[in-house]
Structure 1
Amino acid sequence: MPPINTLLFDLDGTLLDTAPDLVAAVNQVLLHEDRPALPLAQLRPFVSGGASVLLRRAFGDDRESPLFQRRLQHMLDYYLANIAVHTRLFDGMSAILEYLESQNIPWGIVTNKPGWLTNPLLDALGLAERSSCTISGDTVAQKKPHPLPMLEACRRLDRPPEHCVYVGDDSRDIQAGRAAGMLTLAAVYGYVPEGDDPRCWGADGLLQAPDEILPWLAQRGAVT
């Protein structure tokens, strides 16, 4: 097995728990229209699908309708202005990043979130300079599940895909990583909708919590 020397993470639902701020943005739109706010637990499983999926869950709109587009803009404007009020690294993730950095193992981010949201979020949390490579949803011509964003991360890091592990909480993450030739880990602790079984995604491992990452790597001799 090729040596593992790089870790790449999905952002929402894998590296960061962004659900509280994204759901707050949805609820801002609901309250603006005199509708009741929805509980975090109801929308949390759909956060990895992005803003459009969250709004459709809240309103049931056709995403092509003018009303949907106005609501989406309202949501995104509010989210950008309040992007890191409650968002944090998942429990245990800070220690993992610190360990990787102490061992000179580069880590990076490959997300479908657009750069105009990804960059201010990482800046607000002090992660922008720590990430060795950040590929957003608009960095290259394709998004996950296409492997192009993964391959672009490898190119920027000067790492062969087979030396990388990608961690994500959606089937498209695993599909993209596998198509790029990486090992993949499914973040079961993330935003997995009810009825979606990560065991069927084809990942090389399942993570019930972030603190399982280092033991998994240790089993493969990547860390000590």
Structure 2
Amino acid sequence: MTDFPFAIVGFDMDGTLLDTSGDLAAAVNHALESAGRPTLPVDDIRTMIGGGARHMLAQGMARTGGCTDDELDILHHRLLDYYEAHMIVETAPYPHALAALDTLAAQGVTLAVVTNKLERYAAHILDSLGLKDRFACLIGGDTMGPGNGKPSPAPIYAMIDRCGGGRAAFVGDSIYDVKAAKAANVPVVACSFGFLDRPVADLGADAVIDGFDRLVPTLRRLGGAR
């Protein structure tokens, strides 16, 4: 038994636990090129990540001239096919992320991932990086059914239930993460190093960290631990 204030800590994946921007940008640019569109810099695509692949691609298409829903459907499939074959070329954990997970686990905290990425893709990435067994549950953008990805609180509620219940906190980098956690009445920490589409202070998180070396003390402060 420890004095750590949270029994469960959940994490977003893209832009939170893992820097996936290089591989996601490559997939977006593959789809854009296939449609005869100019490619976009990784830094531009980074701000589009967080709401799922279709939403990310729609923003890329809008940036390069727009498209119809039918065209977006076709290009979405092209993006997913490319990404499925090139998921972990550049993807890696952020600095100090694994050490933070180790510290939380040593405190008896149950860890989870809640992402808007398709569950099978998220599982493949975590497994390929040797991280899957660290987490008691993985909830993807399609796990809870249509319309129930973040910012819906449904995946946060499911995370708590699947992790056995108890006081929970969430860590993310997007407005989807913050809205989902707040709707579920769960404290949320925002990562300033993530895939931000606005200043991190404007996300409305309960706390902000500039690196994973600050996560555990920040959670202790949020939880009012002794």
How many Å apart are 1:34 and its aligned residue? 5.0
The answer as to whether partners of 1:4 and 1:222 remain within 8 angstroms in 2 is no
SS of equivalent to 2:112: strand
Deviates more, 1:46-55 or 1:117-126: 46-55
TM-score by length of 2: 0.87
Residue identity over aligned pairs, in percent, reads 33
Q: Does 1:80 align with 2:84?
A: yes
Question: d(CA) in 1 for partners of 2:35 and 2:183?
Answer: 43
SS in 2 for 1:49: coil
Q: How many residues align?
A: 218
Structure 2 counterpart of 1:207: 209
RMSD (Å) for aligned C-alpha atoms: 2.2
Which residue of the other structure, out of 36, 39, 53, is the alignment partner of 1:37? 39
Aligned equivalent of 2:196: 192
Contact 1:5 1:222 in 2 (8 A): no
Q: Cα deviation per residue 1:175-200 (whole Å; 9 max; x = unaligned)?
A: 2112212111112211111xx23323
Structure 1 contact 48–191 (Cα < 8 Å) conserved: yes
Aligned to 1:217: 219
Q: Residues 76-115 of structure 1: CA distance to partner in whole angstroms, max 9, x if unpaired?
A: 1000111111111111111111222233322111112121
Give the Cα–Cα distance (whole angstroms) in 1 for the partners of residues 222 and 50 of structure 2: 29
Residues 118-166 of structure 1: CA deviation (Å, up to 9, x unaligned): 1211111112221111111122241111111111111111123xx1110
Structure 2: unaligned runs, 5 residues or longer: none
Report 1:1-224 matches (<5 A): 3-33=5-35, 35-60=37-62, 61-62=66-67, 64=69, 66-141=70-145, 142-160=148-166, 163-193=167-197, 196-219=198-221
Letter in 2 for 1:49: G
d(CA) in 2 for partners of 1:221 and 1:72? 41
Q: Show structure 1 runs of 5+ residues with no match.
A: none
Shift of residue 215, structure 1, vs aligned partner:
1.9
Shift of residue 35, structure 1, vs aligned partner: 4.4
3-state secondary structure, aligned to 1:47? coil
Distance (whole Å) between structure 2 residues aligned to residue 131 and residue 10 of structure 1: 12
Following the alignment from structure 2 to structure 1, what is the Cα–Cα distance between the partners of residues 152 and 120?
Answer: 21
Q: Alignment partner of 2:189: what SS?
A: strand
SS of the residue corresponding to residue 109 of structure 1 reads strand
Determine if contact 1:150/1:177 at 8 Å carries over to the other structure: yes
**For the structure 1 residues 44 and 71, does the alpha-carbon distance in structure 2 shift closer, same or farther, using more than 3 Å as the test?**
same
CA contact (8 A) 1:185 1:206 kept: yes
TM-score normalised by structure 1 residue count = 0.88
